[in-house]
Structure 1
Amino acid sequence: MDAEISLAERFEARRGHLRSVAYRMLGSLSEAEDAVQEAWLRLGRTDVSEVENLAGWLTTVTGRVCLDMLRSRKARREELGDERLPDPIVTRDPEQEVLVADQVGIAMMVVMEALAPAERLAFVLHDMFAVPFDEIAPVIDKTPAATRQLASRARRRVKDSAPTPDPDLGRQREAVEAFFTAARDGDLEALVTILDPDVVLRVDLGDGGPLRVVRGARNVAGQALTYRQLSAAMEYVLVNGAVGMVNMTGGSAQSLMALTVENGRIVTMEIIADPDRLASLGL
């Protein structure tokens, strides 16, 4: 009994870390919790008396669980065609910014969604959690050298496609404020100026259909003018450690917007307008 209690305590001490691994792998908060719970069940069915590094073992087991979930999800989406934006981590308290500053931005999570499951595992475990390639390789049934190549390929794709957000929240907010001021004023040219020429807007309406994607500053600015009456109901929040906005109407969240500001311009905008998902965030 004492051994079981000790094992449970050691697992609980690593739960936050394992949840972070699973979230980066899956982009879903609920699925991340499921993956961590499955790791706990597997721990209970395994004799770990000879495991020298329990933390490392738990990390790779969680990675294996997530890999299976990603492969199942990929097959399901290919069959059904369902798409969605990754779950955001939202806080209203700027003082908690330090707690979420290391979270992966939504724009980067979107890029990671396009990685093959094995690529994502190799990249997440090695680049984000410093797991050696020789420990990742058995999880994906590859050699360490092949695993290194997978991580390298994923790293290049992320670097080429994911924006690098301004680390200064003040500068982020200045850009976002300028955007919404221009939207309220109906100033198309001002909107175009604050948007990167290649800005991408992605909208998840939660209707089971594909993501709505709009590209280009003038096209996105036109969309912003369409919804300018909603801008008065927008409140600032932190989304994965970056400045975001939530539209509160009638005491409930109608939409959540994650924005990426790079070099003073907005380069990506992700909007979640799925009522069920918004309700699950407790906004």
Structure 2
Amino acid sequence: MRGPEMVVCVKQVPDSAQIRVHSVTGTIMRQGVPAVLNPYDLFALEEALRIKDRLGGRIVALCMGPPQAEAVLRKALSLGADEGVLVSDRAFAGSDTLATSFALASAIRRLSEERPVDLVFTGKQTVDGDTGQVGPGVATRLGMRLLSYVCRISVLDRNRGSIVVHRWTEKGVQVLRSRLPCLITVLEGTGEPRFASLPEMIRAARQPIRVWDRKAAGIEDVRKIGLKGSPTVVGKVFAPARRAERAECLELDAEEPAKAAALLWEKVLSRQPGLAAKCFGVADEGEGKEGSSE
């Protein structure tokens, strides 16, 4: 009995412990920040590896990114994946979640021509985008059943083409039975990711990585990838920080609290001239009433 054919989508992301955000544009600054395998994808890979441990099968780690993203595929190989495929082309630059899901779905469709894919795994989200949209987008494009926020796979019967999973919902844990093939987004904490063994690390270092450009991945229409295929409107995530006014120090006499309060009130009104009108009311003609601080 042959085990399931599995694809695990992984991504190279900036190390979240060292992420910096540009103070003006609000975008993530990747320069000088180490790149790592997306932590949520580690849980997806671990779930696929556990299935392989029990039932056998084959795991292909799939990544879309620049040439240096080969490092995360070698990481996946060192943990037990059988093959790594890097989809890399300058035409992918600037892809949002819509364009990314199209490119990944095209690559998985291309892999299915070699060997029919039973299961596709993704992490629930990435630490740099935090949208959680790519996995569902890939499932939709491939016409696969989507099983999201999965915390456990209890039954997998490839002969009958069925799977039983446990997934978190707002009301508790839901148990679902589905048909294969399907795409599973895996929650963090489902299983402790394993460590790479020395023999697997040596294998990962020596094994060639398949690199596909857009044509090799089966993508002909460049209008669906990169900036042209990305309808997301780029805006500022954070408003530019205001330049703080220099603080003014006041010497107040603790023995005369009334005078201290009056001095503080005077200073506040000098910086907020409209505050008195708000505190004591405004005349019908729009002029502030005269009030007393006593």
> When the two structures are superposed, what TM-score results if normalisation uses the length of structure 1?
0.25
Q: Which has the higher contact order (CA 8 A, sep 6+)?
A: 2
- Structure with more strand by fraction: 2
Larger Rg belongs to: 2
